[in-house]
Structure 1
Amino acid sequence: MNPWLPAASCTPHDCAGHDGPTRPRLFAAALLCAGCVLVLAGALGAPFALMLGPAPRERLIRRWAYGVVRAFGVRVRITGGRAPDDGTRTAPGTLVVANHISWLDVPLVAAVFPGRMLAKREISAWPVLGPLAAAGGTLFVDRDRLRALPATVREMGAALRGGSRVIAFPEGTTRCGRGGGRYGPAVFQAAIDADAEVRPVRIGYRTRPPRDTERDGRASGAGGSLPAAPDAPAGAAAFVGDDPLTASLWRVVTAVGLTAEIHVLPPIRAADRPDRRALARLVQTAVANDSANRAAESVHH
């Protein structure tokens, strides 16, 4: 591994785990099957989705991505607004950046901001997910070749100038949620080159005690709104270090009350910052300082 590659101190032993209530094994296995089937359906249906117009395709991707998260037994809490539902885009596009905790982050962001993901090139070789990512317009970066980075930045800039929405996780690796890493400045150079808008997003995962959950799995309280989430991050969702994907999948489907929270922060115009490093610091600070005690605009069960 090259020394310039980002690395986190998070490990499966220290960060990834769930010591709260768990689902029965049979129920968890059913959720695991349902989630995998929905992912496979997305891979098989991707060529047909490309034949749709921008608006219906964006709505379909949102519903599919939201469905994937829910199929694995995870509730979704969205605050701070969404992208328009009509599929309209303006040039230049928007660079959506988020902190990175789990493999769940990808469908979670796509449920709010469908767009072209920036991902490591190794994903293109994965079965099922690789073809699905490629069909969805994913931009792949070769993290083992530093010299290839300028070409990736140019590709991102061209996509943004063309009006695309590009989604990136500038920490460069997953972290457990107990503290973020440094945001790499390269992706922000693409936004500056394209005079694009940057949309910071904060992702978090929480679990709720069983007393807050009724028998049908819906949140208790007036209007079905979720109560205030506890401060501790949910290790059940963390996917860090050399953690096997199968182990992470099983933690997610067995954890009772796991809720994915995504908060959309106000946009930042890239051209208003003097350089990419200043822009990266500004966005990182905005995401890190986002309050954990927010009133939910929408909660989906």
Structure 2
Amino acid sequence: MDAPAVAVSPVHRVARLLATLLVLLAGLSISLAACRARTAWRAEITKTWARLLLRALGIRVKTTAGDAYFAQSPVSPAAPGALLVANHVSWLDPLVMAATVPSRPLAKREIGEWPLVRTLAAGSGALFIDRERLSALPSAVATVANALRAGDTVVAFPEGTTWCGRGMGEFRPAVFQAAIDAGAEVRPAVLRYREGESTSTRGCYVGDDSLLASLLRVTATRGLVVEVTLFAPVRLTPTGRRHEARATLARIAEAHVRSGAVEASPRRPPAAHRRVPAR
């Protein structure tokens, strides 16, 4: 794993770790309260908490579109929510997306087996799916579709696993069926970890890496920035061929994300970095 461009002092590193621990402990009680809150309030609480945790870790989030981009149309309060899909680089990704927009994360069932994470995820309204059991797939799709119909924004990482920040996997199409069934928009997003003008791999979480090792790398890095680039929503109308429709939608969303995830010259950012007009 690459060395940080600039490392913080040992004292600063310990301070970050202590601040992170305090935010995590506070999150336990906040999660218990959030479970009883309305969905909109729960998402806002989670957004604030995620921002505090990222700040404690020493991470700054830079977004190229404002919150208005995610606002639902006032013309139809019953309009479905949106499926927000992004490339997957790190265990930090769900926190980054939660800090960017009020939303509900889609998470692997295994994550719900970790005691601390289970409580925090429950407070955020996470939707758990079992990727290893094909028989559970229709139920998982139905769960996501119901959340979208209720007006929630659901965050998913369709690659299914993390990549090391300099590549991407293919988007699995299953979750896109939920957006088609609910008549919801798909909103692609790109995550890029930066140290100065260079891509950073300090937040990556792949292979035999451990969560603790990744955490220590992140807290040792000065000036770690996560750029979140948002694309215009895409939508497909339902067709008789379910598999073809969701595969097409997955390919379109993946193409948008892949075009923004490639390394760009710092002097001339790609078109994907243009601000997305508010809806």
RMSD: 2.4
Could you report, residue by residue, the CA deviation over 1:39-89 in whole angstroms, capped at 9, with x for unpaired residues? 22122211223444555444332221111111101111111232349x996
Structure 1 position 269, deviation (Å):
1.7
| Contact preservation (8 Å) 1:32, 1:72 | yes
Q: 1:62 to 1:48 in 2, by over 3 A?
A: same
1:264 aligns with 2:223: no
1:277 aligns with 2:247: yes
Could you report, residue by residue, the CA deviation over 1:115-154 in whole angstroms, capped at 9, with x for unpaired residues? 2211111111112111111232211111221221121111
Paired position in structure 2 for 1:38 = 23
Structure 1 position 19, deviation (Å):
4.1
SS, match of residue 114 in structure 1: coil
| Contact preservation (8 Å) 1:92, 1:164 | yes
Report the TM-score when normalising by structure 2.
0.85
- 1:278 aligned partner, one-letter code: T
Q: 1:53 to 1:194 in 2, by over 3 A?
A: closer
Paired position in structure 2 for 1:49 = 34
| Contact preservation (8 Å) 2:32, 2:119 | no
Structure 1 position 272, deviation (Å):
7.5
Gaps of 5+ in 2: none
| CA distance, structure 2, for counterparts of residue 115 and residue 270 of structure 1 | 22
- The percent of aligned pairs where both chains have the same amino acid is 43
| Contact preservation (8 Å) 2:60, 2:226 | yes
Paired position in structure 1 for 2:219 = 253
| Contact preservation (8 Å) 1:139, 1:156 | yes
Aligned length: 260
- 2:227 aligned partner, one-letter code: E
1:66 aligns with 2:54: no
| CA distance, structure 2, for counterparts of residue 296 and residue 205 of structure 1 | 19
Query: Which piece of structure 1 moves more, 88-97 or 281-290?
Result: 88-97
| CA distance, structure 2, for counterparts of residue 259 and residue 89 of structure 1 | 35
- 1:287 aligned partner, one-letter code: V
1:181 aligns with 2:169: yes
Paired position in structure 2 for 1:224 = none
Equivalent residue for 1:108, pick from 85, 96, 99:
96
Match runs of 1:21-170 below 5 Å: 21-53=6-38, 55-82=40-67, 83-84=70-71, 90-170=78-158
Q: 1:73 to 1:52 in 2, by over 3 A?
A: same
Q: 1:50 to 1:19 in 2, by over 3 A?
A: closer
Structure 1 position 112, deviation (Å):
1.6
| CA distance, structure 1, for counterparts of residue 81 and residue 275 of structure 2 | 27
SS, match of residue 115 in structure 2: coil
SS, match of residue 184 in structure 1: coil
| CA distance, structure 1, for counterparts of residue 245 and residue 35 of structure 2 | 36
Q: 1:174 to 1:272 in 2, by over 3 A?
A: same
Q: 1:89 to 1:243 in 2, by over 3 A?
A: farther
- 1:253 aligned partner, one-letter code: T
Query: Which piece of structure 1 moves more, 234-243 or 128-137?
Result: 128-137
Query: Which piece of structure 1 moves more, 197-206 or 284-293?
Result: 284-293
